[in-house]
Structure 1
Amino acid sequence: MGMPFTDEDLQTPVSNIITTKIAPMLAKDGGAIELLQIKNAKVYVQLQGACVGCAASGSTLKFIVEKELKAAIHPELEIVNVPAGMEDEIMND
């Protein structure tokens, strides 16, 4: 296992990057993002606003969210988008 951080360790840096870098990028297009939880080094986020149902949201997640977080924190981070209404599913994951 290459992840040197606990889920608690990841909370602050992930949250900071989402708030300062990723959210402003998405906001330009009327989108938003929320950090739901970090579990087993998987970052569960929810794309909101204009991102919902947008065809590009999959690539937004991969090329903006994932790229930023992996570059800043750790290349093995996994980012999971949780569709609205599916929040309960992740808690049982």
Structure 2
Amino acid sequence: MEQTVDPQRDMKHFHDKCKRNLYQFIQVELNDGSVYQGLLHSYDHDKMYVIMPKTHHHHMEMETEDESRLFPFYGPFGLFGFPFFGVRGFGPFFPFFI
């Protein structure tokens, strides 16, 4: 028997998790297996936005070089959007031992 997931329930799960982890250092795993770490900046109905270093993720930049000067407070970092449909999972990331 094939099991289906209600898209509304799945979105609520992502939104609740984003609310709990907002402004925290997280790790995001995408459906293609790639993994990213950054600071969860914000989220909307369809995407989560993470602040990450620009140097390693040029293919994911949301802005062109001309637009980057409009956001000088990010410095060498960029704001990247991850659509929820492409996210396998995410959660807090602790790169060190306490």
Same fold (TM over 0.5): no
* TM-score normalised by L of structure 2: 0.33
By relative contact order (CA 8 Å, sep 6+), the higher-ranking structure is 2
Greater percentage in helix: 1
